[in-house]
Structure 1
Amino acid sequence: MTDQSSERNSKPVVITRPEKQAHALKVRLDAFGIANSVLPMFDIGPLPQASDYAVLDAALRRIDELSLVIFVSPNAIDAWFERLAYLGITRPLHLGLAGMGAASRIALIEHGVDPQITPLIFPRNPNKTDSETLLDELDLAPLAGREVLIVRGDSGRDFLADRLRAAGVQVNQAAAYQRIAPPFDAAMQGRLQTAIDADSAWVVTSSELLPRLLEWCRRLGGEALVAKMQQQLLFVPHIRIFEKAKELGFQQLIQTASGDENLALAIQSHYERTN
């Protein structure tokens, strides 16, 4: 564990996830003695209307006809299992499940999925866990003409669905949750200003947050605060987030492997090298 003098000399870490999703990473950073706080830049909630679940519910009621379910995130996994329980549907144990990274694998196991029984498919490269690398892991020939369900939030990329359809796969993309932006009220403005003034290190696990972060800075302190934010250190667990951050002018970026354990270890390792 890092001693107190090391903690004082480290940049405080700001976790931009919702409180619930940030907890596991916060606990790991606490164990390393790394000062950290949670500044939720989005929340996860149910879809606004019951009718918004129509595509997902229809697919779940035909779950025995599915060949594979692909989850874009741990949040998609949580929402999927909640919906199964709500509908009273039992998951076929041999139905293949796929995800993008270590956090999704952990989420599936926490929901009782046994990897010895249920085929699990994930990118093998922990430093590049996205739709492109998952596609490389899929055996597309047996999926041709079969039905695959992609469980996602209320927005996202269509890359994977488009590529699967091009290979002759029948694809349903179903929303299972929504991301909700918090109000940029006085309390949030104060927390953001404090974090930037402390020259923090930021954990950003979604590329969608980056434009919002800069817009909040612009509203709070104009282009000067935007420039100050662009100079702060970002830890990002996906190449897509890394590339988006570079595009938006962020100067200090460290890409880590996916999953809370890998994120925490990367932060600890960086601090040990720089303190």
Structure 2
Amino acid sequence: MKQWRVLITRPTADSAVLAALLAEQQIYSSSLPLLEIEALLETPAQRSQILNLDRYCAVIVVSKPAAILGLQRVDQYWPQPLAEQHWFSVGAGTGRILADYGLSVSWPEQGDDSEALLALPKFLEITSIEDARVLIMRADVGRDFLAEQLKQRGVQVDFLPLYRRSLPVYPTDTLVTRIQQQQLNGLVVSSEQGLRHLIELAGDAWSTLASLALFVPSPRVAHIAQELGAQHVIDCRGASNQALLKALTAHAVPTA
């Protein structure tokens, strides 16, 4: 039976961990990071947010970079973890970073997206209190669905942008050459922005690459991928390494 040979596109450190896991399962992978993380400078307003962190009924962290950079900010002004503070993460990987720091954190057991977090009973309970106010740690731009849903419930939402994501600079045809030379038959993206960067890097070749199997983290990203021309989309139902591994195991390599 033909084996998977996939392109993984996460930031460098995350790609290395994923590649090692796939190698243990005899799955070939090639890493081409499509998300470059640049930390943003702290503003006086953001410093005030951290200094007044205890005024929020919950802090929501949407990604691993947000967790790492957010905790660096917290560590400057709060020498001890806030024992009574409720923290929530969109995914388990992000949540474990917060938990290792000593915070009380919850995340959905199923799903790595805003929809899953909004359905989490504890999250509903905490954000349903009177005059609820939450802080969302994230990138400078991102999906606003979570904030919009909270605002509709009467929750006051503040943002703490900690980093920006960009597409690393690669020589022309890097993506196509990599796929052809290493005979890759699957593409892996972990977010909508990763998907859009993949298509941007592909350029005119996307019409050809769109026939490859494309592994995505959620139904929402799957729908976007299909709208953008991807012909064989596989929803991993999560952005974690284990979710991808499960999807790779469950799906056979498409025949030409």
The partner residue of 2:20 within 17, 27, 31 is: 27
User: Match of 2:224?
Assistant: 244
User: Match of 2:71?
Assistant: 81
CA distance in 2, matches of 1:28, 1:247: 31
Q: Check whether the contact 2:4–2:253 (CA below 8 A) recurs between aligned residues.
A: no
* Offset of residue 264 of structure 1: 1.8
User: Match of 1:195?
Assistant: 179
The partner residue of 2:115 within 120, 132, 135 is: 132
User: Match of 1:151?
Assistant: 137
CA distance in 1, matches of 2:79, 2:220: 35
CA-to-partner distance for each residue in 1:201-231, whole Å, 9 max, x for gaps? 111001112233223222xxx3xx2221110
User: Match of 1:171?
Assistant: 157
Q: Check whether the contact 2:139–2:161 (CA below 8 A) recurs between aligned residues.
A: yes
Q: Against the structure 1 CA distance between its residues 89 and 264, is the aligned structure 2 distance closer, same or farther, given a 3 Å change threshold?
A: same
CA-to-partner distance for each residue in 1:95-137, whole Å, 9 max, x for gaps? 1111222222333234344xxxx2x33234x2x4322232222
CA distance in 2, matches of 1:88, 1:98: 18
1:207 lines up with 2:187 in the alignment: no
The partner residue of 1:94 within 69, 78, 84 is: 84
Q: Check whether the contact 1:29–1:264 (CA below 8 A) recurs between aligned residues.
A: yes
* Offset of residue 233 of structure 1: 0.7
CA distance in 1, matches of 2:145, 2:217: 19
Moved more, 261-270 or 139-148: 139-148
CA distance in 2, matches of 1:251, 1:238: 16
CA distance in 1, matches of 2:254, 2:200: 32
Q: Against the structure 1 CA distance between its residues 265 and 273, is the aligned structure 2 distance closer, same or farther, given a 3 Å change threshold?
A: farther
Q: Against the structure 1 CA distance between its residues 196 and 87, is the aligned structure 2 distance closer, same or farther, given a 3 Å change threshold?
A: farther
CA-to-partner distance for each residue in 1:112-169, whole Å, 9 max, x for gaps? 44xxxx2x33234x2x432223222222664331321011101012222222222222
Superposition TM-score, scaled by structure 1 size = 0.81
* Offset of residue 191 of structure 1: 4.6
* Offset of residue 237 of structure 1: 1.6
Q: Check whether the contact 1:63–1:91 (CA below 8 A) recurs between aligned residues.
A: no
CA distance in 2, matches of 1:39, 1:257: 22
Q: List alignment gaps of at least 5 residues for structure 2.
A: none
Q: Against the structure 1 CA distance between its residues 98 and 50, is the aligned structure 2 distance closer, same or farther, given a 3 Å change threshold?
A: closer
**Structure 2 counterpart of 1:62, one-letter code:** N
1:122 lines up with 2:107 in the alignment: yes
Which secondary structure state, in structure 2, belongs to the residue aligned with residue 92 of structure 1?
Answer: coil
**Structure 1 counterpart of 2:178, one-letter code:** T
Q: List alignment gaps of at least 5 residues for structure 1.
A: 1-5
**Structure 1 counterpart of 2:107, one-letter code:** F
Q: Check whether the contact 2:138–2:161 (CA below 8 A) recurs between aligned residues.
A: yes
Please state which structure has a larger fraction of its residues in helix.
1
1:256 lines up with 2:236 in the alignment: yes
* Offset of residue 240 of structure 1: 1.8
Which secondary structure state, in structure 2, belongs to the residue aligned with residue 161 of structure 1?
Answer: helix
Q: Against the structure 1 CA distance between its residues 164 and 144, is the aligned structure 2 distance closer, same or farther, given a 3 Å change threshold?
A: farther
1:40 lines up with 2:33 in the alignment: yes
* Offset of residue 173 of structure 1: 1.0
* Offset of residue 27 of structure 1: 1.4
Superposition TM-score, scaled by structure 2 size = 0.87
User: Match of 1:58?
Assistant: 48
